[in-house]
Amino acid sequence: MSKLANETGSLFQLEGHRCVVTGAASGIGRAMTQALLSHGAEVLLVDRDASALAHVLDTTPITQRKRAQSGACDITDAARFQRLVDGFGALDALFANAGVSGGAGFGTEAGRESGMLNAQTMDHWRYVMDINLYGTATCMQAVLPALKKNKGHGAGRIVVTASVAGMQAEPFVSYAYALAKTALVRLVQQAALELAPHDITVNAIAPGFIKTGIANGRLHDEDVAKSLVPRIPLGRLGDATDLQGLAVFLASRASAYITGAVIPVDGGYLLNQKEPSPC
Protein backbone atom coordinates (compact mmCIF):
# COMPACT_ATOMS: atom_id res chain seq x y z
CA MET A 1 0.00 0.00 0.00
CA SER A 2 1.33 3.43 -0.94
CA LYS A 3 2.12 6.15 1.59
CA LEU A 4 -0.74 8.24 0.17
CA ALA A 5 -3.21 5.37 0.65
CA ASN A 6 -2.06 4.92 4.22
CA GLU A 7 -2.45 8.60 4.95
CA THR A 8 -5.91 8.72 3.35
CA GLY A 9 -7.08 5.70 5.33
CA SER A 10 -6.00 7.28 8.59
CA LEU A 11 -8.14 10.35 7.94
CA PHE A 12 -11.18 8.52 9.29
CA GLN A 13 -9.59 6.82 12.28
CA LEU A 14 -10.84 7.97 15.67
CA GLU A 15 -8.57 6.12 18.07
CA GLY A 16 -8.08 8.26 21.14
CA HIS A 17 -10.81 10.70 20.17
CA ARG A 18 -13.32 11.42 22.93
CA CYS A 19 -16.91 12.17 21.93
CA VAL A 20 -20.19 12.97 23.69
CA VAL A 21 -23.44 11.86 22.02
CA THR A 22 -26.82 13.04 23.31
CA GLY A 23 -29.96 11.06 22.58
CA ALA A 24 -27.62 8.08 22.38
CA ALA A 25 -30.02 5.37 23.54
CA SER A 26 -32.05 5.07 20.35
CA GLY A 27 -32.44 6.00 16.69
CA ILE A 28 -29.90 8.31 15.11
CA GLY A 29 -27.97 8.83 18.35
CA ARG A 30 -27.51 5.13 18.86
CA ALA A 31 -26.38 4.65 15.26
CA MET A 32 -23.87 7.48 15.62
CA THR A 33 -22.56 5.99 18.84
CA GLN A 34 -22.07 2.59 17.20
CA ALA A 35 -20.17 4.16 14.30
CA LEU A 36 -17.90 6.23 16.54
CA LEU A 37 -17.09 3.27 18.78
CA SER A 38 -16.40 1.00 15.80
CA HIS A 39 -13.84 3.52 14.54
CA GLY A 40 -11.98 3.60 17.83
CA ALA A 41 -13.48 6.60 19.64
CA GLU A 42 -14.21 6.81 23.35
CA VAL A 43 -17.84 7.84 23.79
CA LEU A 44 -19.97 9.28 26.58
CA LEU A 45 -23.55 8.24 25.88
CA VAL A 46 -26.17 10.65 27.25
CA ASP A 47 -29.92 10.05 27.25
CA ARG A 48 -32.80 10.68 29.62
CA ASP A 49 -33.87 7.02 29.37
CA ALA A 50 -31.58 5.21 31.82
CA SER A 51 -32.90 1.73 31.05
CA ALA A 52 -32.45 2.22 27.30
CA LEU A 53 -28.89 3.43 27.91
CA ALA A 54 -28.16 0.31 29.94
CA HIS A 55 -29.52 -1.85 27.11
CA VAL A 56 -27.30 -0.12 24.55
CA LEU A 57 -24.22 -0.75 26.68
CA ASP A 58 -25.23 -4.36 27.32
CA THR A 59 -25.54 -5.03 23.59
CA THR A 60 -22.30 -3.25 22.65
CA PRO A 61 -19.38 -5.59 21.81
CA ILE A 62 -17.08 -6.01 24.79
CA THR A 63 -14.06 -4.58 22.96
CA GLN A 64 -16.03 -1.39 22.30
CA ARG A 65 -17.81 -1.30 25.66
CA LYS A 66 -14.49 -0.63 27.35
CA ARG A 67 -14.43 2.72 25.56
CA ALA A 68 -18.03 3.66 26.42
CA GLN A 69 -19.42 5.52 29.40
CA SER A 70 -23.02 6.56 29.99
CA GLY A 71 -24.99 9.10 31.97
CA ALA A 72 -28.75 9.49 32.27
CA CYS A 73 -29.66 13.14 31.79
CA ASP A 74 -32.37 15.36 30.33
CA ILE A 75 -30.39 17.88 28.29
CA THR A 76 -32.52 20.72 29.65
CA ASP A 77 -30.86 20.03 33.01
CA ALA A 78 -27.79 22.18 32.37
CA ALA A 79 -26.14 21.50 35.73
CA ARG A 80 -26.46 17.72 35.40
CA PHE A 81 -25.14 17.74 31.83
CA GLN A 82 -22.20 19.93 32.85
CA ARG A 83 -21.26 17.47 35.59
CA LEU A 84 -21.31 14.59 33.11
CA VAL A 85 -19.09 16.45 30.66
CA ASP A 86 -16.68 17.55 33.38
CA GLY A 87 -16.48 13.99 34.69
CA PHE A 88 -15.70 12.65 31.22
CA GLY A 89 -12.64 14.87 30.98
CA ALA A 90 -10.80 15.67 27.76
CA LEU A 91 -13.11 16.06 24.79
CA ASP A 92 -12.80 16.19 20.99
CA ALA A 93 -16.40 16.19 19.77
CA LEU A 94 -20.00 16.78 20.75
CA PHE A 95 -22.86 15.21 18.81
CA ALA A 96 -25.87 17.26 19.94
CA ASN A 97 -28.55 14.91 18.72
CA ALA A 98 -31.28 14.69 21.38
CA GLY A 99 -34.68 16.00 20.36
CA VAL A 100 -38.44 15.47 20.30
CA SER A 101 -40.92 15.65 17.43
CA GLY A 102 -43.63 17.81 18.94
CA GLY A 103 -46.41 15.79 17.33
CA ALA A 104 -47.80 15.38 13.83
CA GLY A 105 -47.82 18.19 11.29
CA PHE A 106 -50.91 19.66 9.64
CA GLY A 107 -50.13 17.80 6.41
CA THR A 108 -50.68 14.39 8.00
CA GLU A 109 -53.82 12.45 8.83
CA ALA A 110 -52.74 12.32 12.47
CA GLY A 111 -52.29 16.09 12.59
CA ARG A 112 -55.29 17.11 10.53
CA GLU A 113 -56.65 19.02 13.54
CA SER A 114 -53.96 18.98 16.23
CA GLY A 115 -51.27 20.13 13.81
CA MET A 116 -53.08 23.25 12.64
CA LEU A 117 -51.76 26.67 13.62
CA ASN A 118 -54.81 27.57 15.69
CA ALA A 119 -54.44 24.33 17.68
CA GLN A 120 -50.93 25.15 18.87
CA THR A 121 -50.31 26.25 22.45
CA MET A 122 -47.41 28.30 23.69
CA ASP A 123 -46.74 25.75 26.45
CA HIS A 124 -46.28 23.04 23.81
CA TRP A 125 -44.03 25.25 21.70
CA ARG A 126 -41.90 26.07 24.75
CA TYR A 127 -41.56 22.38 25.60
CA VAL A 128 -40.30 21.50 22.10
CA MET A 129 -38.03 24.54 21.91
CA ASP A 130 -36.63 23.86 25.38
CA ILE A 131 -35.38 20.44 24.27
CA ASN A 132 -34.59 20.85 20.58
CA LEU A 133 -33.13 24.36 20.60
CA TYR A 134 -32.26 25.52 24.09
CA GLY A 135 -31.19 22.03 25.19
CA THR A 136 -28.82 21.84 22.24
CA ALA A 137 -27.43 25.29 22.99
CA THR A 138 -26.92 24.28 26.62
CA CYS A 139 -24.92 21.22 25.52
CA MET A 140 -22.78 23.34 23.22
CA GLN A 141 -22.03 25.79 26.03
CA ALA A 142 -21.12 22.96 28.40
CA VAL A 143 -18.47 21.43 26.13
CA LEU A 144 -16.73 24.61 25.02
CA PRO A 145 -14.12 24.76 27.80
CA ALA A 146 -13.06 21.15 27.17
CA LEU A 147 -12.98 21.60 23.38
CA LYS A 148 -10.92 24.76 23.62
CA LYS A 149 -8.50 23.10 26.01
CA ASN A 150 -8.01 19.85 24.11
CA LYS A 151 -6.45 20.46 20.68
CA GLY A 152 -4.45 17.26 20.54
CA HIS A 153 -6.34 15.92 17.53
CA GLY A 154 -6.67 19.16 15.61
CA ALA A 155 -9.98 20.97 15.43
CA GLY A 156 -12.64 20.33 18.03
CA ARG A 157 -15.97 19.24 16.62
CA ILE A 158 -19.59 20.15 17.31
CA VAL A 159 -22.15 18.29 15.22
CA VAL A 160 -25.82 19.18 15.60
CA THR A 161 -28.73 17.08 14.36
CA ALA A 162 -30.97 19.52 12.50
CA SER A 163 -33.55 18.43 9.89
CA VAL A 164 -34.65 19.05 6.32
CA ALA A 165 -37.61 20.70 8.08
CA GLY A 166 -35.16 23.41 9.08
CA MET A 167 -34.31 24.05 5.43
CA GLN A 168 -37.76 24.30 3.88
CA ALA A 169 -41.41 24.25 4.96
CA GLU A 170 -42.50 20.71 5.79
CA PRO A 171 -46.18 19.91 6.57
CA PHE A 172 -45.29 16.44 7.89
CA VAL A 173 -43.79 17.87 11.09
CA SER A 174 -45.16 20.08 13.84
CA TYR A 175 -44.82 23.85 13.84
CA ALA A 176 -42.67 23.77 16.95
CA TYR A 177 -40.33 21.14 15.51
CA ALA A 178 -39.90 23.05 12.25
CA LEU A 179 -39.19 26.30 14.10
CA ALA A 180 -36.69 24.69 16.45
CA LYS A 181 -34.80 22.96 13.64
CA THR A 182 -34.72 26.15 11.58
CA ALA A 183 -33.26 27.99 14.57
CA LEU A 184 -30.67 25.23 15.00
CA VAL A 185 -29.40 25.87 11.47
CA ARG A 186 -28.75 29.51 12.34
CA LEU A 187 -27.25 28.53 15.71
CA VAL A 188 -24.76 26.28 13.92
CA GLN A 189 -23.79 29.02 11.48
CA GLN A 190 -23.39 31.66 14.19
CA ALA A 191 -21.32 29.34 16.38
CA ALA A 192 -19.17 28.29 13.41
CA LEU A 193 -18.14 31.91 12.92
CA GLU A 194 -17.39 32.52 16.58
CA LEU A 195 -15.49 29.32 17.24
CA ALA A 196 -13.39 29.10 14.08
CA PRO A 197 -10.51 31.07 15.69
CA HIS A 198 -10.47 28.43 18.44
CA ASP A 199 -10.02 25.65 15.86
CA ILE A 200 -13.51 24.30 16.58
CA THR A 201 -15.75 23.38 13.66
CA VAL A 202 -19.53 23.45 13.96
CA ASN A 203 -21.71 21.62 11.44
CA ALA A 204 -25.22 20.25 11.17
CA ILE A 205 -26.58 17.00 9.82
CA ALA A 206 -30.07 17.46 8.35
CA PRO A 207 -31.84 14.10 8.18
CA GLY A 208 -34.82 13.59 5.92
CA PHE A 209 -37.40 10.91 6.61
CA ILE A 210 -35.46 8.44 8.77
CA LYS A 211 -37.21 5.42 10.28
CA THR A 212 -36.69 5.80 14.03
CA GLY A 213 -38.90 5.81 17.11
CA ILE A 214 -39.41 9.59 17.01
CA ALA A 215 -42.96 10.84 16.36
CA ASN A 216 -44.30 7.64 17.92
CA GLY A 217 -42.63 5.65 15.15
CA ARG A 218 -45.02 6.95 12.47
CA LEU A 219 -42.49 6.36 9.71
CA HIS A 220 -42.74 2.62 10.37
CA ASP A 221 -46.41 2.76 9.33
CA GLU A 222 -46.73 1.30 5.82
CA ASP A 223 -49.38 3.79 4.70
CA VAL A 224 -47.27 6.72 5.84
CA ALA A 225 -44.22 5.28 4.11
CA LYS A 226 -46.13 4.77 0.85
CA SER A 227 -47.21 8.41 0.85
CA LEU A 228 -43.68 9.70 1.40
CA VAL A 229 -41.54 7.46 -0.80
CA PRO A 230 -42.73 9.03 -4.10
CA ARG A 231 -41.27 12.33 -2.86
CA ILE A 232 -37.82 10.81 -2.32
CA PRO A 233 -35.68 10.42 -5.48
CA LEU A 234 -33.76 7.43 -4.09
CA GLY A 235 -37.08 5.66 -3.63
CA ARG A 236 -36.98 4.69 0.05
CA LEU A 237 -37.13 6.04 3.55
CA GLY A 238 -33.84 6.39 5.35
CA ASP A 239 -32.46 4.27 8.16
CA ALA A 240 -30.46 5.57 11.10
CA THR A 241 -27.43 3.71 9.76
CA ASP A 242 -27.51 5.99 6.70
CA LEU A 243 -26.07 8.72 8.92
CA GLN A 244 -23.16 6.73 10.30
CA GLY A 245 -20.64 7.51 7.58
CA LEU A 246 -21.26 11.23 7.83
CA ALA A 247 -20.98 11.11 11.63
CA VAL A 248 -17.55 9.48 11.38
CA PHE A 249 -16.47 11.95 8.69
CA LEU A 250 -17.50 14.98 10.75
CA ALA A 251 -15.76 13.62 13.86
CA SER A 252 -12.54 12.86 12.02
CA ARG A 253 -9.73 15.00 10.66
CA ALA A 254 -11.10 14.33 7.16
CA SER A 255 -13.56 17.19 7.76
CA ALA A 256 -11.04 19.65 9.23
CA TYR A 257 -11.77 22.38 6.65
CA ILE A 258 -15.58 22.20 6.85
CA THR A 259 -17.51 24.45 9.21
CA GLY A 260 -20.93 26.08 9.19
CA ALA A 261 -22.24 23.42 6.80
CA VAL A 262 -25.75 21.98 6.90
CA ILE A 263 -25.58 18.60 5.19
CA PRO A 264 -28.82 16.87 4.14
CA VAL A 265 -29.08 13.10 4.46
CA ASP A 266 -32.44 12.78 2.74
CA GLY A 267 -32.26 10.55 -0.33
CA GLY A 268 -32.58 13.65 -2.51
CA TYR A 269 -35.83 14.78 -0.89
CA LEU A 270 -34.92 18.48 -0.94
CA LEU A 271 -34.40 18.25 -4.71
CA ASN A 272 -37.94 17.08 -5.36
CA GLN A 273 -40.54 19.80 -5.86
CA LYS A 274 -43.58 17.54 -6.19
CA GLU A 275 -46.64 18.54 -4.23
CA PRO A 276 -46.81 16.76 -0.84
CA SER A 277 -49.18 13.84 -0.54
CA PRO A 278 -51.48 13.43 2.50
CA CYS A 279 -49.77 11.03 4.88
CB 212 within 8 A of CB 28: yes
Which residues make Cβ contacts (< 8 Å) with residue 207, sequence separation at least 6? 28, 161, 163, 164, 238, 243, 264, 265, 266
Please tell me the pTM assigned to this model.
0.92
Q: Which residues contact 14 (CB under 8 A, 6 or more apart)?
A: 36, 39, 40, 41, 248, 251, 252
Three-class secondary structure of residue 81 per DSSP = helix
Pairwise CA distance, residues 185 & 273, whole Å: 21
CATH topology of domain 15-271: Rossmann fold (3.40.50)
Check residue 62 and give left, alpha or beta (phi > 0: left; psi -120 to 50: alpha).
alpha
Q: How far apart are CA 108 and CA 174, in angstroms?
A: 10
Catalytic residue among 127, 134, 175, 177: 177
Q: Residue 55 carries which DSSP code?
A: H
In terms of DSSP bridges, do strands 156-161 and 18-22 run parallel, antiparallel, or are they unpaired? Answer: unpaired
10-residue block means of pLDDT along the chain (279 residues)? 54 94 97 98 98 97 96 97 97 97 90 92 96 98 95 82 96 95 98 96 97 76 87 95 98 95 97 60
**Strands, sheet with 68-72, edge to edge from the N-terminal-most edge strand:** 68-72, 42-47, 18-22, 93-96, 156-161, 200-207, 262-265
- Can 177 be counted among the known catalytic residues? yes
* Closest of 25, 138, 16, 24 to residue 82, by C-alpha: 138
In degrees and rounded to multiples of 5, residue 111 shows phi and psi of -105, 15
Inter-residue contact 250 to 213 (CB < 8 Å)? no
What is residue 278's predicted lDDT score, i.e. its pLDDT?
44
Q: What is the pLDDT of residue 2?
A: 46
**Helix (H), strand (E) at residue 95:** strand 93-96
What whole-number distance in Å separates Cα of residue 214 and Cα of residue 172? 13
